[in-house]
Structure 1
């Protein structure tokens, strides 16, 4: 293997390592839900190349209202799946879609786009 092949191989391995770190080990933005006067826990989530915030902490046994604002037209983000709560919603571009859940047990519940590429989670304490 000559010098050029070695550089290309090392660069490729470095980029693969970066992708693995970014998707699986990088720090995630965690937000605790804000309670309204009616006791509903509320969080605003922006959908643009991912979910922001993508980790949401809520209290068990209290209703949760997630407001998804889709700030793009990317086809990947046009659908929201919340399998643990049997929720499948269309997210129209440049509109807010409300999703309400009542978490009755503690745990981590994942939500994704229709293709499974964009990911977030609801952490119930």
Structure 2
């Protein structure tokens, strides 16, 4: 969920080498949470109200951050 004051849950666990589909369900319009950045996977995406799909394949285990367009709200992708 993308809510007016951040992401819920803030942490997501996935497996290395397996394609990932993350659904960012945004409950409102506007704000800095309307833009998603996952730098380690070269993802920059506008988030509209409703369901927003992001797809990538993490190759290496680690902890990767994602954040809003203003770098105010964060989450983590934990790759095992």
TM-score range, shorter chain: over 0.9
More strand by share: 2
CA root-mean-square deviation: 0.9
The structure having more radius of gyration, on CA atoms, is 1
2:27 aligned with 1:57: no
Work out the CA distance in 2 between the residues paired with 1:55 and 1:121. 5
Q: How many equivalent residue pairs?
A: 79
What is the match of residue 80 of structure 1? 36
1:60-118 per-residue CA deviation (whole Å, 9 max, x = no partner) reads 1101100001112241111000000000000012x111000100001000000000111
Q: TM-score, normalised by structure 1?
A: 0.61
Q: When the two structures are superposed, what TM-score results if normalisation uses the length of structure 2?
A: 0.94
Please identify runs of 4+ aligned residues in structure 1 that moved more than 3 A: none
Could you say which structure has the higher helix fraction? Answer: 1
Instruction: Write the mapping of 1:61-72 to structure 2, written as runs, cut at 5 A.
Output: 61-72=17-28
Unaligned runs of 5+ in 1: 1-45
Structure 2 portions without partners, runs of 5+: none
2:57 corresponds to 1:102:
yes
> Which of structures 1 and 2 has the larger relative contact order (alpha carbons within 8 angstroms, sep 6+)?
2
1:122 equivalenced with 2:77 (yes/no): yes
Trace 1:10-21 onto structure 2 (pairs within 5 A): none
